[in-house]
Amino acid sequence: MRGPGLALLLAGALAACAGQAPRPRDPEVCLKIFDDYDAAQWLYPQQYQLDDWGLSILQPEVGRPVRLMRTNGCLTVPSDLDGLPELAQRLQPYRIENSGAATKPKAISVGIVTDWGDDSRAKQFFRSLGYRARSIGEPALGRRILIGPFVTQGAVDQALAVAREAGFIAPHVAKHTRF
């Protein structure tokens, strides 16, 4: 009797979850969260602290945007990058447009990937277009993909548009990262 009842309960729970629409990913919300995260990292370079039991935990000021990134869908997951090979082919021959006003060198944070394979795929994609690409580890999140440096506003705008088209939710100019 317990087996069929448990199966019905599980089926009901799955049906209820399936009926809920996924939370929309809002680029503006994600940009604000990334801005808060970058500011917290800048203010608290020692991102971890020891709790009363000697365990290492994220500083609360850093942990809050980390949680918000996860709950608001601001991280780049593998399915977001499924179209990279086709996009790379479609964009060829690609040329970086160094146009518009000159700027001091800037790096673009295209996003944070949650998988080592995505880290490699994303860097390979941007390098195939002629960009310098690297990644850095982000505690409790994954790997942040950075491209650049860019010295004109036209090149910045073009790279941001390509990153969005590639599947990154909130690419932005990195405030505290230099190439």
- Where is 60: in which H helix or E strand? helix 60-71
pLDDT digits (tens, 9 = 90+) for 97-136: 999 999 999 999 999 999 999 999 999 999 999 999 999 9
Q: What is the pLDDT of residue 127?
A: 97
Q: Please check whether residue 65 is in contact with residue 37, taking contact to mean a CB–CB distance below 8 angstroms.
A: yes
Whole-prediction pTM value? 0.80
- Pull the structure tokens for residue 158: 């073009």
C-alpha 105/C-alpha 150 separation (Å) is 5
pLDDT grade for 54, boundaries at 50, 70 and 90: low
Per-residue model confidence (pLDDT) at position 12: 46
Closest CA to 149 of 174, 167, 169, 170: 174
Q: Say which residue, 57 or 72, is predicted with more confidence.
A: 72
